[in-house]
Structure 1
Amino acid sequence: MMNRIRTASGRALIARLQIRPSLIKLDPCLFPGGPQPGEIIEVTGNTNCGKSSLSLRLIVTVLLPHTWRGMNIGGCDGGVIFLDSDLHFSILQLENMMQRRIRRFLKLSKDAIKSKKNGYEFDEELIDDDHKIKELLHSDKASLKTEIDNLIKQCLKSFFYLKCTVSSQFAITLLSMNELIMNKTKVSLIVIDSISAYYWHDKTYRAESWYKLEQYYNGIFKVFLSHVKNHKLVLLSTRQSLFRKDYQKHRYVPCMEEEESEVGMIEYEYLGKHWASFVTCRIHLSKLTTVPEDDITKNDMISDNLLSNSSNSVTVGNNANKCEGSVTPDDYRQMFSAEVIKNEKKTKLVFTIHEDGLRWRPQS
């Protein structure tokens, strides 16, 4: 018995000391300097405001390698544990986003090589090896598709999907996460969508009072978050906006799905004080008014630059600040706002959602 305990402790120690892939360049716009190991990130917002899209974008960035076939595609070459409790996840959507991201970089690399040949400015950090990227670009469509599919399959080997359909299963999964974390040393990011999926169920069937429900959550999060901290992982979790503050009655009331909550509004910490005290970064998402597509794509190349982790704007020949595809004056795209709160500092960002992920827009 004693030998078994010592062996388990030794495994835990080795897993904690293991150097995991760095997320310092996960998203320079959202996380300047990168999220720190052990950081807890909470994403809030109403329905259809981009929470799942933001999560998928970060998952894709973690899974993809930093360089591939001569291109700097800005990935982290890490692993992800995804806990799906809202049951909205689609592996096809993830694969499609990865494929779109890769093909976007292929087009940028092709334009950069053409611009270099013609003497124009281009993003020098985009190309890692001229010979390898030219060889890839000169391959036929079938071979190129095979290369991309093989890369995606290789990346998805580091993606671990956990599906929870009931409250008890969700709680047990969080409490037993340590074993999976120890065995998957390439994992750097845990994503939960969402942490509050079973709140109303637990409130109705598991706890007789608000106090007992908070104690129940405190017990779960104390164990789970200690695993995240000990193994120096980054946790990103979406949380539903279930309550809003009624300033007239000076109390918190349930928030309806169609209601637009005020950005930066203090919400009732219904998941308990332990969860609230461990969150180090909060991101509140909301919808903005729509604008013409041609206005959106005017400075769209800034997103490509952020994806490739470059600090200067991308310029590709005479096509700078233009985006692929035809645009009509009647084409509109929904805009979203992301308010990042960290270390008592607030930063507001604007983005649009595309098939290859989010694209950050410069502030006007």
Structure 2
Amino acid sequence: MGSHAKAWLVEDESAREMLDRVLTERPFLLLPPLHRVPLRVGNVVELVGPSSSSKTHILIQAAITCILPKLWKGVSYGGLGHSAMFIDLDCRFDVLRFSELLNHRIMEAANGSSSKVGCHQKDSEAQFERMKPYNEELFALCMKRFLYIRCYDSSEFLATLKTLHYRLQKEREVHGVNVHLLLIDSIGAFHWVDRGSSSFPLECDNRKSWHLQNVSEAVVQEIRRLLLVHPMLVMATKAVVLGNKYSTNELTWNYRKWSAVDNPYSRNITSSDQQLPYREYMPAAWQSFVTHRILVRATDDDLVNGEHQNNSIYLLKWLLPPLNSLDKFTVRDTGVFILS
């Protein structure tokens, strides 16, 4: 027992290494359609919206930007050159879609590099053939930087967060780069299951009962501890249901106020007068942890002209910090694109 306790006190890095890791200047992460507000490590961004509102696509685009290098073999890819951790609570992640988008970003940068030097079509095709092995090498490198975990219930999610420090440390030793982005798809996936089983006691009488508030507080606590050792930008999606009064074609959203009395497990993080266009259901521990909140939803409109033909239009609005702007964007086979 004594030797086990001493193992926790064994140093694994010097003070200089710790300061270099914690105080390293990290770049802003400006991601269309999230370009209105600069995002940095330590921020917790929540993407809320109904199903099929492209929330996961935004996470995928953020992950690809993170794992791509800024410059590689003389070609600019505009990435951050870090690793990204994707925790899938929805269990519907499409790795094929992710690989297609990543491959397109790589080819787009390579083709753009060849066009800048004024190559003719034949020269461009020859350049593409020469770049193909390099593109495949870069694709493999980026996929190694993308770390994926799937959880099927809150117990697995908490166990993952508790052991994530050791995995991130191991990945840093193997790949030589830090994890810059922590992505959580569908943070409320287990909310209603946990709420329904809130009265189930644990085996030991001296431990807390398994209920919704304890789970949420434990999740927030583990993420806070993780960010102290591994500074990251946290992005999480959350599925919500908008009221019937919010037509999908309205460009002006009239926010409806939901009282905390209606839901004992939630409260507003800014004031009791905050107005939201959806019913908040996450516990207060999570709501107060979020630093940025964005609402996204689909419209009934489709683009019928131009290069984005027959693609759905989505709307995005910043709720925290509140901005008056309303952005339109669309999702194509090649990624997310801003329209206005």
The unaligned stretches of length 5 or more in structure 1 are: 118-133, 254-263, 298-330
Structure 1 length normalisation: TM-score? Answer: 0.71
Label 1:293 to 1:72 Cα distance change in 2 as closer, same or farther (>3 A).
farther
Label 1:142 to 1:28 Cα distance change in 2 as closer, same or farther (>3 A).
closer
Residue aligning to 1:260: none
Aligned to 1:101, which of 98, 105, 127?
105
Match status 1:75 vs 2:76: no
Note if contact 2:161-2:223 (Cα within 8 Å) is conserved in structure 1: yes
SS in 2 for 1:197: coil
> How many angstroms does 1:144 deviate by?
3.2
Residue aligning to 1:194: 186
The residue type equivalent to 2:7 in the other structure is R
Q: How does 1:10-21 map to 2 (within 5 A)?
A: 14=17, 17-18=20-21
> How many angstroms does 1:268 deviate by?
4.5
Distance in 1 (CA, whole Å) between partners of 2:125 and 2:307 is: 32
Label 1:76 to 1:227 Cα distance change in 2 as closer, same or farther (>3 A).
same
Residue aligning to 1:161: 148
Match status 1:50 vs 2:54: yes
Residue aligning to 1:220: 219
Distance in 2 (CA, whole Å) between partners of 1:75 and 1:248 is: 40
Match status 1:351 vs 2:323: no
Note if contact 2:82-2:179 (Cα within 8 Å) is conserved in structure 1: yes
Note if contact 2:311-2:332 (Cα within 8 Å) is conserved in structure 1: no
Label 1:102 to 1:44 Cα distance change in 2 as closer, same or farther (>3 A).
same
> How many angstroms does 1:74 deviate by?
1.1
Label 1:336 to 1:33 Cα distance change in 2 as closer, same or farther (>3 A).
closer
Note if contact 1:21-1:188 (Cα within 8 Å) is conserved in structure 2: no
Aligned to 1:204, which of 190, 196, 199?
196
Note if contact 2:50-2:242 (Cα within 8 Å) is conserved in structure 1: no
SS in 2 for 1:59: helix
Label 1:84 to 1:348 Cα distance change in 2 as closer, same or farther (>3 A).
same
Distance in 1 (CA, whole Å) between partners of 2:57 and 2:13 is: 39
Note if contact 1:37-1:229 (Cα within 8 Å) is conserved in structure 2: no
> How many angstroms does 1:17 deviate by?
4.7
Deviations 1:181-238 (A, max 9, x none): 3334411001111211111111112447xx9422331133122233124422111111
The residue type equivalent to 1:175 in the other structure is K
Q: How does 1:267-278 map to 2 (within 5 A)?
A: 267-278=278-289
SS in 2 for 1:294: coil
Task: Give the number of equivalent residue pairs.
Answer: 302
Residue aligning to 1:283: 294
Residue aligning to 1:332: 310
Distance in 2 (CA, whole Å) between partners of 1:160 and 1:16 is: 25
SS in 2 for 1:36: coil
Distance in 2 (CA, whole Å) between partners of 1:266 and 1:229 is: 33
Structure 2 length normalisation: TM-score? Answer: 0.75
Distance in 2 (CA, whole Å) between partners of 1:36 and 1:248 is: 30
Q: How does 1:4-153 map to 2 (within 5 A)?
A: 4-7=7-10, 14=17, 17-18=20-21, 22-27=26-31, 30-31=34-35, 34-114=38-118, 137=124, 139=126, 142-153=129-140
Note if contact 2:33-2:336 (Cα within 8 Å) is conserved in structure 1: no
The residue type equivalent to 2:41 in the other structure is P
SS in 1 for 2:189: coil
Label 1:25 to 1:220 Cα distance change in 2 as closer, same or farther (>3 A).
closer
Match status 1:342 vs 2:320: yes
> How many angstroms does 1:24 deviate by?
1.1
Distance in 1 (CA, whole Å) between partners of 2:279 and 2:228 is: 25
| Identity of matched residues, % | 20
Q: How does 1:225-304 map to 2 (within 5 A)?
A: 225-241=224-240, 265-295=276-306
Note if contact 2:240-2:279 (Cα within 8 Å) is conserved in structure 1: no
Match status 1:171 vs 2:182: no
Note if contact 1:188-1:234 (Cα within 8 Å) is conserved in structure 2: yes
Label 1:226 to 1:179 Cα distance change in 2 as closer, same or farther (>3 A).
same
Distance in 2 (CA, whole Å) between partners of 1:203 and 1:74 is: 43
Deviations 1:249-283 (A, max 9, x none): 97758xxxxxxxxxx72545433212111111111
Note if contact 2:114-2:127 (Cα within 8 Å) is conserved in structure 1: no
Label 1:10 to 1:151 Cα distance change in 2 as closer, same or farther (>3 A).
closer
> How many angstroms does 1:240 deviate by?
1.4
Label 1:140 to 1:54 Cα distance change in 2 as closer, same or farther (>3 A).
same
Note if contact 1:245-1:266 (Cα within 8 Å) is conserved in structure 2: no
Distance in 2 (CA, whole Å) between partners of 1:346 and 1:9 is: 48
Distance in 2 (CA, whole Å) between partners of 1:154 and 1:137 is: 24
